[in-house]
Structure 1
């Protein structure tokens, strides 16, 4: 409304002044927008040009971690989570990613199905994705939701072939079935197992164990072996019954796809029962604390692990630097291969975030596509990974590790990384 006390001349003068002020303000806004669009010169893109959605604010990128610090894999979960926090702190000290700090939002599900799914449901709306999700059965339980609804990148601490085929769920390493194919190859080429021999397989019921068993059976068929199955629950701790059955069957070697407690019991009981045969475990089956138990002599003599990474105590540059950084941040804390697993997952997620930032698309879809563009990822831990094929493991190679009481992390390389011929031709069941 015009002021009735102003003259026509005054009103015209006021209108001119207002137009000039608006033009100046518009020029200032235009200049600011152009400044925001410019690269800052240090590799960071202007925040105004970056597309974002859930889990990303103007100054923070929030990443979820669903871990087990109080259940079957408590030791692993603690190491994985602390290693991921180490990575986050390193990135933030260097200025963050895309002009934002990283934040790791952690939930402990204690390897409980209800808590795992509940924790996922709680965090899914608030994070850009998950750099950790322990437990293949729990990831499988929300897989459809991840694929069709949330579409957030998830890097599980799980290696089930049943999680393949998803663009949003990407495992780092050989799947359990491929891992067991390589384990059987090791038994045949290095441990003297021959055609017509029987090999026992102790495995957790559910996704983890069934995936491993499929690989063991495939490899056994290729080598003319037979698998003697012993299915157990995660709550089963005493392997006496399983050892008794395997000894009666006359097995010449044993595979195990379970947890560290089961590995210690199985190997210790087998040695006491004079069933002194090689035992090869999937990668989550060992923890260095086992070398302080009564099972230590048996583990040192009989136990081996198939894994898609060098051990944390290896003298290579990657493990040595990580071990030093971890010990500095967490003095007195246990070193195990969970440190490498956690750090690698966080760094892989971080690399995807960086590539997404370069593409100016820090949405969930942008981060997922960034990871899919990474066909030759080498974190310095012995194996190069290809994340460009969702229906394939990121590698089909495995190291064979063995316990060593004098090594950091309690393990050393027994056999360099290799891929069995059967592993190369195997088609994982998704």
Structure 2
């Protein structure tokens, strides 16, 4: 077992222990706080936790004050917009939607405490930021709570549960598609060295699995550079990659690290294409000194069309969001929040037709969604062991585009991604 994998599992164990501290109180309060008892309610529809004859309550466990605060704000506001629009049209199944939001600030104790508090009161979770936190409650969700969770996390470690459903491609598949783009369109070829800068822990490890797979399949050599989330200056990494003679770089980290990597590389005359996972870009970077270099050298693989794409779904959402939040910038967190909420809403619609708004009924309904598309790309939720899509859209930073990015390659699942089998 590698050291970073061991640390991740240790973290998950600690988080699970924290969860256990609140499990007794959560169980004892479940019946008291439940919105229903599985019996038929209004319209002859069975209801359960978080559902009454007038209301459907969904939980949101977000980060609005921690390391992913920008993402958390955009995701949450987009989901509030979805709820507002849905309720204005009469709600779902004769009931109004309601979000109960908790900001955990990307703090493990706060995240687990918030889950323990909200779980008995909600039907499920339209948002849960932080793959380690979701992983820590996965066993409890699968064996006991059975509440649908659509996390804002794309780690393959979250696959396999019928209740925790990754929306879009996982990091390993996303990285495979990213490298496929580098090879087909940016000159990377068999025999070349490819740099990979990645966060220690589950996100980086899962992304690295994708690059190692592509190296084996395509005859590349990976030059690995592991970093911590607190490492913000990529000068040492750039120097090492330049010395190694890499022809391109993948970065599986945060926006700050991506800006530093690209900015330092450009300043030193090391002008190779750099591509990041979907978590490694924020349009606010374009206002920094690294902005011009990002527009020339940087690309990002994402699970869905960006908010500025020239398609009906993005255009409609961008207009509605700008009207609802005129002082806030558009970014792809808006897309992530909206697509998660709309997928959950579609599952509710199907569960309503089956007259079963219990957790079991909603989970079952989601498993029937084989070709759902909210306007940002097709999703298939029928196999819990697989992400809902193998496709990635390749975008580039673009100061002149709405949302700060434009599409370079439309959604595509590379042959390598389609053939990929996890160990």
In structure 1, stretches of 5+ residues that fail to align are: 1-44
Matched, 1:258 2:253: yes
Partner residue in 2 for 1:21: none
Q: After TM superposition, what 4+ stretches of structure 1 lie above 3 angstroms from structure 2?
A: none
Q: For residue 46 of structure 1, report the CA deviation from its aligned partner.
A: 6.7
Partner residue in 1 for 2:69: 74
Matched, 1:320 2:347: no
Matched, 1:363 2:358: yes
Partner residue in 2 for 1:65: 60
Deviates more, 1:361-370 or 1:198-207: 198-207
d(CA) in 2 for partners of 1:95 and 1:428? 44
Deviates more, 1:241-250 or 1:216-225: 241-250
Query: 387, 403, 411: which one pairs with 1:409?
Result: 403
Q: For residue 121 of structure 1, report the CA deviation from its aligned partner.
A: 1.5
In structure 2, stretches of 5+ residues that fail to align are: 1-39
Matched, 1:384 2:378: yes
1:197-219 per-position Cα deviation (integer Å, ceiling 9, x unaligned) = 11111111111111111011101
Matched, 1:247 2:242: yes
Partner residue in 2 for 1:14: none
Aligned residues: 384
SS of residue matched to 1:124: helix
Deviates more, 1:255-264 or 1:47-56: 47-56
SS of residue matched to 1:395: coil
d(CA) in 1 for partners of 2:289 and 2:422? 37
Partner residue in 2 for 1:206: 201
Partner residue in 2 for 1:164: 159
SS of residue matched to 1:235: coil
d(CA) in 2 for partners of 1:217 and 1:411? 28
Query: Aligned pair in 2 of structure 1 residues 311, 357: CA closer, same or farther (>3 Å)?
Result: same
Partner residue in 1 for 2:333: 338
Partner residue in 1 for 2:178: 183
Partner residue in 1 for 2:229: 234
Q: Which aligned pairs between 1:51-130 and structure 2 lie closer than 5 A?
A: 51-130=46-125
Q: For residue 332 of structure 1, report the CA deviation from its aligned partner.
A: 2.0
Partner residue in 2 for 1:37: none
d(CA) in 2 for partners of 1:62 and 1:428? 36
Q: What RMSD over aligned residues (CA atoms) do the two structures have, in Å?
A: 1.3
Task: Check conservation: 2:63, 2:104, Cα contact below 8 A.
Answer: yes
Q: Which aligned pairs between 1:17-56 and structure 2 lie closer than 5 A?
A: 47=42, 49-56=44-51
Partner residue in 2 for 1:147: 142
Q: For residue 110 of structure 1, report the CA deviation from its aligned partner.
A: 1.6
Q: For residue 239 of structure 1, report the CA deviation from its aligned partner.
A: 1.4
Task: Check conservation: 2:212, 2:222, Cα contact below 8 A.
Answer: yes
Q: For residue 65 of structure 1, report the CA deviation from its aligned partner.
A: 0.9
| Pair member with larger Rg | 1
TM, length-normalised to structure 2: 0.89
Partner residue in 2 for 1:290: 285
Q: For residue 428 of structure 1, report the CA deviation from its aligned partner.
A: 3.4
Query: 368, 371, 391: which one pairs with 1:397?
Result: 391
Query: 269, 272, 277: which one pairs with 2:272?
Result: 277
d(CA) in 1 for partners of 2:173 and 2:292? 29
TM, length-normalised to structure 1: 0.87
d(CA) in 2 for partners of 1:68 and 1:285? 16
Q: For residue 111 of structure 1, report the CA deviation from its aligned partner.
A: 1.7
d(CA) in 2 for partners of 1:285 and 1:50? 43
d(CA) in 2 for partners of 1:142 and 1:255? 30
